[in-house]
């Protein structure tokens, strides 16, 4: 693959329809120690290795891109500390769509001040940047956040080609870790995840 190829244009040309199998409705299977619902759902099958090989393992995460993220993260942290409203936009860099579109990666107006511990960066893997993937029922949290921040009733955006989103990581200050029952339940859940 020639370095002059635009990875976003290549992604847009790829057809992912048919990759998602028919699924039954999601099923409620129980509650976790905090009382939150646990749902059983099917993961959309997708061969990431084949997908990456098809595009010659093109690097989307470059040094320039990481510097841009670091700058935006710092701006967000400053806004949060000062309790300021600030919308941080992702400005397309070389190799990204030349449409001039800018997308919001965080809006500090949505932050619950005093409860946030730190600003986190959620990177999107290549397949999450594809318009067809973004239509699947089980979207990633990063895609959901981008859709939330860029929700414009007058604009029917079906594809958000932004490789990261900023979000607030909150630390749980509860004392549930002192409960033996909770720890046994969490350990069982971790073992199930490990098996999967």
Q: How confident is the model at residue 53 (pLDDT cuts 50, 70, 90)?
A: confident
The dihedral sign for the CA sequence 70, 162, 126, 144: positive
- Look at the block and give the residue holding tokens 């099958």: 45
How many percent of the chain have pLDDT more than 70? 66
Question: Using one digit for the tens of pLDDT, what is the confidence trace for 99-112?
Answer: 567 889 998 887 66
- Rounded Cα–Cα distance for residues 105 and 95 (Å): 19
The answer to whether residues 93 and 64 touch, using CB atoms and an 8 Å cutoff, is yes
pLDDT in tens, 133-188: 787 656 788 988 888 888 876 666 678 888 899 988 776 666 766 788 888 888 88
Confidence (pLDDT) at 183 = 85
Separation CA 71–CA 65 (nearest Å): 10
Q: pTM of this prediction?
A: 0.63
Tokens for 19? 């990759």
Closest residue by Cα to residue 20 from 144, 158, 184, 134: 134
Q: What is the structure's pLDDT at 1? A: 41
- Tens of pLDDT, residue by residue over 82-93, are 888 889 998 776
């Amino acid at each position: 693959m020639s370095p002059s190829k635009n990875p976003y244009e290549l992604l847009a040309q790829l057809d992912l329809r048919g990759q998602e199998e028919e699924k039954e409705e999601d099923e409620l299977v129980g509650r976790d120690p905090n009382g939150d619902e646990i749902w059983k759902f099917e993961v959309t099958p997708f061969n990431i290795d084949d997908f990456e090989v098809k595009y010659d393992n093109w690097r989307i995460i470059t040094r320039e891109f990481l510097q841009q993220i670091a700058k935006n993260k710092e701006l967000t942290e400053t806004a949060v500390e000062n309790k300021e409203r600030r919308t941080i936009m992702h400005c397309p860099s070389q190799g990204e769509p030349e449409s001039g579109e800018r997308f919001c990666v965080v809006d500090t107006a949505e932050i619950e001040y005093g409860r946030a511990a730190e600003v986190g960066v959620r990177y999107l893997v290549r397949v999450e940047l594809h318009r067809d993937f973004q239509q699947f029922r089980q979207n990633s949290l990063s895609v959901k956040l981008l859709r939330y921040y860029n929700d414009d009733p007058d604009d029917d955006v079906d594809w958000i080609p932004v490789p990261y989103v900023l979000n607030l990581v909150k630390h749980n200050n509860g004392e549930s870790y002192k409960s033996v029952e909770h720890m046994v339940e969490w350990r069982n859940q971790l073992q199930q995840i490990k098996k999967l």
